[in-house]
Amino acid sequence: MRIFIDADSCPRLTRTAVLRASARTGIQAVFVANRPIPGISGPTALMELCPSGEGMADDRIVALARAGDLVITRDIPLAQRLVEASVMVMDDRGWEYTPENIRERLSLRDFMVGLAENGLDKDRVAQYGKRELKAFADSFDRILARTINPSVRYI
């Protein structure tokens, strides 16, 4: 198993939590971005730089990720591509994308993009603090535990 992080938009707190978990479990964490991301270091951390351009990092993640890997991304169209390839996907707030929920999440995302394009989604700034980090960490730990030891049932 490897953990891929769509690092261009991943909050620093989430990156730090992934680095700690990677070091603790020995699972390789691959940070994929179009630019160097500060603080990516350690024996299990890898920075994968992609050429600049629309979707280049997404395409690289899709090319590298396999069933059994986990990808962390805010990008719902990327999440859909990965879920369709049987890759586990979650966002930085702990939401796990599955075959059962990805279409609904993509539809909601498209609706919100439409509102924003028409100037109807004003002052929408996503906060990322302790509450969001805790939700991510709880879900992330649950997914890692389930993957590392699939014979144990986690609620």
Domain for residue 72, yes or no?
yes
Domain for residue 154, yes or no?
no
Domain for residue 155, yes or no?
no
**pTM of the prediction?**
0.85
User: Could you report the per-residue pLDDT of 88-135, keeping only the tens digit for each?
Assistant: 999 999 999 999 988 877 777 667 667 677 776 655 556 888 999 999
> Domain holding 80: CATH number?
3.40.50
**Residue for token digits 């070091």?**
23
Domain for residue 28, yes or no?
yes
- The β-bridge partners of 96 are 90
Quote the domain boundaries for residue 14: 2-148
Count of CB atoms situated within 10 Å of the CB of 143? 19
Domain for residue 128, yes or no?
yes
User: Could you report the per-residue pLDDT of 49-89, keeping only the tens digit for each?
Assistant: 999 888 899 999 999 999 999 999 999 999 999 999 999 99
Domain for residue 110, yes or no?
yes
Domain for residue 135, yes or no?
yes
Distance CA 150, CA 155 (A): 13
Domain for residue 153, yes or no?
no
Counting the structural domains of the chain, the total is: 1
